């Protein structure tokens, strides 16, 4: 933004940068991750992302830095991902959609999303105990379309009903197939 022969120095008023340097073979992707998901992210973990300008192409990066605190307004943590861009296909400033695969929280179990019953009384998973339905109150954690992380009085190996009927009651007899 400087014309040839123009005076450039501390006394000159610049409207914009005289020179901008960019390193494009290694980029930094900055993402604000919601609180629920940030606890399951580990530094050094690989992530995949897509760039809106290049549909159908997937790119990889690695979590390199975490801010370590929650943004109070948005309840999110800023995470930085290092991206190797040796071919130069990704340009600084492009928008990306990141796919995280957070690790499960300690003390949680993963169940099919259809197994979690939500009613006015709370959230439950129905466990089969001695041939009877037993409603176990749970709290939901991370979710995908098919699976949900739950916290409650469940143990690994418990038999649960994956698609419970709406009229099922606590203590009802359950026929096992």
- pTM (two decimals): 0.56
Fold that domain 104-177 belongs to in CATH = 2.40.420
Asked if 6 and 12 count as a contact pair (C-beta separation under 8 A), the reply is yes
Instruction: Tell me the pairing of strands 116-119 and 147-152.
Output: unpaired
**How far apart are alpha carbons 94 and 59 in whole angstroms?**
13
Give tens-digit pLDDT for 18-69. Answer: 677 778 899 999 999 888 778 778 888 899 999 999 999 999 999 999 998 8
Element (H, E) at 37: helix 35-38
Q: What is the rounded CA–CA span in Å between residue 140 and residue 60?
A: 29
- Given this model, what pLDDT does residue 12 score? 55
* pLDDT score of 53: 92
Give the integer Cα–Cα distance in Å for 156 and 177: 20
**Which residue intervals of the chain bear CATH 2.40.30.170?**
26-99
Q: In a 10 Å sphere around its CB, with 0-12 CB exposed, 13-18 middle and 19+ buried, how is residue 66 labelled?
A: middle
Q: So what's the architecture of 26-99 in CATH?
A: Beta Barrel (2.40)
Higher pLDDT, 161 or 177: 161
For CATH 2.40.420.20, the residue range(s) in the chain are 104-177
| Model confidence band, residue 102 (pLDDT cutoffs 50, 70, 90) | low
């Amino acid at each position: 933004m400087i014309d040839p022969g123009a005076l450039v120095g501390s006394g000159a008023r610049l409207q914009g940068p005289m020179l901008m340097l960019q390193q494009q073979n290694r980029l930094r992707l900055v993402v604000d991750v919601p609180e629920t998901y940030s606890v399951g992210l580990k530094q050094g973990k690989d992530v995949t992302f897509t760039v809106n300008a290049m549909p159908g192409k997937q790119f990889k990066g690695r979590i390199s830095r975490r801010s370590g605190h929650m943004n109070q307004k948005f309840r999110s943590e800023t995470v930085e991902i290092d991206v190797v861009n040796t071919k130069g296909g990704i340009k600084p400033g492009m928008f990306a959609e990141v796919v995280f695969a957070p690790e499960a929280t300690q003390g949680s179990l993963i169940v099919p999303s259809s197994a979690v019953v939500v009613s006015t009384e709370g959230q439950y998973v129905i466990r089969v105990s001695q041939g009877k339905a037993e409603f176990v109150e749970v709290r939901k954690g991370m979710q995908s379309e098919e699976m949900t992380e739950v916290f409650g009085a469940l143990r690994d190996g418990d038999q649960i009903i994956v698609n419970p009927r709406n009229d099922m009651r606590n203590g009802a007899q359950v026929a096992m197939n």
